[in-house]
Structure 1
């Protein structure tokens, strides 16, 4: 089956217009007609029907379209993988990361990685979201690597610890605790909490930390990402427990260290177990493992 014929078929199926398809593909209408005729002859079924000047997919055409699109995509993926294997200094890396990692770690890792001469030709595409969203993108092969929380064990995902993240308490600048630099979680029992919502990867960790102190938080607002948390704390809606990120200093809040011994909070490098990494992705993966903790500490 001719790949060019498949390309013509898919384009015509999506536009249902012979002239527009020919212009889009920079070819002639007879070429497209010939490609469709060859496919129909090979398949033994009509793929299109005409009604007046319009062209429509037949039921056979609709069925074939579904498989042709996915099949051609797999072939292109295979072609790209082979090309990247032949020349490992080129390629694309689809990187997903959680909001917290967008302030320093993700941009610094990619910038430093690309500064290495042998990586200059590698290109990145980025996706950002909460851990659940990022892991879903990983599962459906929309991204190659995720920097995220380990929300739960998943047999299809390989999690490797990347960095340990410090957790702090933030309070409004005019809060009674704002004159302190350190606090025990037990003194927060009666406080109103600005809390991460259930889609956030850090939510289970904070739940566990407070449960260990026998604290049931009084939640007045739930948010998905850090800046909303800081915004509401800065406006005196409540206090929050959150990662120690640089942007805390941009808000009218006071950061307090936690005097209690907490469970370690890790950020993970996640990949899909059954997906072979291209040389470019493998190179970046290895670089992250070697460099991430240094960047966090410095």
Structure 2
């Protein structure tokens, strides 16, 4: 039994004529008759009987047709879906740092969708911190993630896509609030709201303080930068966080770091062993092609 026999059978059941069916299939009538005969032989039942000039289904043929039509419908739907996927349509599972969800991710995904007009492409957006995003990438929950770079991750490809400066934030009524820039040595006397060890920024901030030989006074440890900013705005301490536009709407004063200089780099990460669907690959290639300009704008 093969697919051709099933399609021949379904069409013959519809037309009721071997000649018409053969013409529609563009095959010789003897070839059609032979295919149906082999199918009946394999099933062990008679599928058609003659009624005048027509070939009509037997009760067994009527029963078998139900299964054939369901199977062909499912198969045709699958084939159509594969054609859509091959055209670059489908869903893209995207994970990203919350701070990138304000401007970078909405902008680049919107531009990509405009570039893909006429195609049915959709994103599923997921936020998290770098360790959880990388874990989701490795277990193939996400197709692509935007995060900071992880060392000792040889199974992951990291492509730089954006940059972000680190800044100091203090409450608006803080003694340092009259300043516009500050050296990290000057933070030594003040309690800090600090990144927890689960955050990818923890080691970066630790390194900054090591460079200026200062041991920070850590009062609270939080994983997410926006929560840190919220605590600072209510007077729980000062903090080093990546610059984000939300800070402009909060009760904090933003201070540039005059020494030591540092910027935070963001990367597009994909699992090297994970097959990318055409839609995902199109997005990956689009980001890789346009990241340089976007990165320069982010830094400007």
Q: State the TM-score, normalized to the length of structure 1.
A: 0.69
Deviations 1:41-66, CA, capped at 9 Å, x for gaps: xxxxxxxxxxxxxxxxxxxxxxxxxx
Q: Which portions of structure 1, spanning 4 or more consecutive aligned residues, are displaced by more than 6 angstroms?
A: 78-81
Deviates further, 190-199 or 285-294: 285-294
Q: CA deviation at 1:246?
A: 0.2
CA distance in 2, matches of 1:234, 1:280: 42
Map of 1:87 onto structure 2: 87
Select the structure of larger CA radius of gyration.
Answer: 2
Equivalent-residue separation in structure 2 for 1:157 and 1:266 (angstroms):
16
Match of 1:59 in 2: none
Displacement, 1:295?
5.5
Hey, what's the Cα distance between the residues in 1 that align with 2:217 and 2:80? 52
Instruction: Check the 8 A contact 2:166/2:262 in 1, yes or no.
Output: no
Deviation, structure 1 residue 176: 1.1
Q: Which deviates further from its counterpart, 262-271 or 206-215?
A: 262-271
> Retained in 1: the 8 A contact 2:86–2:278?
no
Matches within 5 A, 1:136-285: 136-285=135-284
Sort the Cα spacing of 1:105 and 1:79 in 2 relative to 1 into closer, same or farther, 3 A. Answer: farther
Q: Deviations over 1:89-120 (max 9, x none)?
A: x1211100012111111112112211224365
d(CA) in 1 for partners of 2:86 and 2:286? 21
Distance 2:271 2:116 in 1: 28
Structure 1: give runs of 5+ residues left out of the alignment.
1-77
Q: Deviations over 1:212-253 (max 9, x none)?
A: 111111111111212211111011111000100000011110
In structure 2, C-alpha distance between the alignment counterparts of 1:198 and 1:214, rounded to whole Å: 20
Q: Secondary structure at the match of 2:170?
A: strand
TM-score with structure 2 setting the length: 0.68
Q: Distance in 1 between matches of 2:118 and 2:204?
A: 36
Q: How far apart are residue 155 of structure 1 and its match?
A: 2.1
Partners of 2:80 and 2:147 lie apart in 1 by 27
